């Protein structure tokens, strides 16, 4: 691993962490979590192979 790829990997790790947190915050602002909750609390008939 060259010094350049090593540094890139390091930036990528922290960058991804930051993007992950930012995305979750954006998703919460758009209230996407409510769509997730609504789907998860009802039996998903397609998923279990009934509907």
Partner 1 sequence: MRIINFLKSRPFIQSIAAVAANAKIFGFFTGKIWQGNSKVVCVPGLNCYSCPGAVGAWPIGALQAVLGGNKHNFSFYVVGILILFGALLGRVICGFLCLFGFIQDLLYKIPTPKLKVPQKIDQPLRRLKYVSLAIPVIALPILLTNQFGIAPPYFCQWICPVGTLEGGIPLVLGNESLRSMLGFLFSWKMGILVFTILTSMLIYRPFCKYLCPLGAVYALFNRFSFYRMNVDETKCTGCKACEKKCKMNVEITKNINSPECIRCGDCKSVCKQGAITSGFCSRRQTEVAA
* Binding positions for partner 1, rule: CB under 8 A: 1, 6, 9-10, 12-13, 16-17, 19-28, 30, 32-51
Smallest gap, in angstroms, from Cβ of residue 33 to partner 1?
A: 5
Question: Smallest gap, in angstroms, from Cβ of residue 14 to partner 1?
Answer: 9
Spatial neighbors of 27 by CB under 8 A, at least 6 apart, are 33
In angstroms, what is the minimal distance from the CB of 3 to partner 1? Answer: 9
The rounded distance, in Å, linking the Cα atoms of 44 and 23 is: 26
């Amino acid at each position: 691993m060259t010094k350049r790829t090593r540094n890139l990997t390091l930036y990528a790790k922290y960058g991804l962490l930051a993007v992950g947190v930012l995305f979750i915050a954006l998703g919460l602002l758009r209230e996407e979590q409510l769509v997730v909750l609504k789907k998860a609390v009802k039996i998903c008939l397609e998923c279990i192979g009934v509907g």
